[in-house]
């Protein structure tokens, strides 16, 4: 079962910064949405979105989890 890593972003209130709050592993985008909403239920988020980690393009750093194709983990 090849699951992709998705990073989860959310903001609590209108006017808040959208912040990285976590990650889920999912087989596809639809499941990633469900997992994110159900997993990160500690707040009543005003907005939440997920992005495939492999689609994040690093700008100034070559290290860390967003630095390459490492998001295609199992």
Residues in contact with another protein by CB under 8 A are 1, 5, 20-25, 38-40, 42, 61-65, 67, 70, 73-74
The residue (of 22 and 52) whose beta carbon lies closer to another protein is: 22
The residue (of 30 and 42) whose beta carbon lies closer to another protein is: 42
The residue (of 19 and 47) whose beta carbon lies closer to another protein is: 19
Q: Which tokens in the block code for residue 52?
A: 């495939």
Q: How many residues does the chain have?
A: 74
Helix (H, G, I), strand (E, B), or coil: what is residue 37?
A: helix
* Contact of 71 with 52, CB cutoff 8 Å: yes
């Amino acid at each position: 079962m090849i699951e992709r890593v998705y990073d989860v972003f959310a903001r609590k209130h209108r006017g808040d910064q959208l912040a990285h709050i976590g990650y889920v592993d999912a087989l596809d985008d639809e499941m990633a949405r469900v997992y994110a909403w159900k997993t990160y239920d500690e707040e009543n988020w005003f907005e939440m979105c997920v992005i495939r980690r492999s689609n994040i393009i690093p700008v100034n750093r070559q290290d860390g989890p967003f630095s390459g194709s490492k998001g295609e983990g199992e």
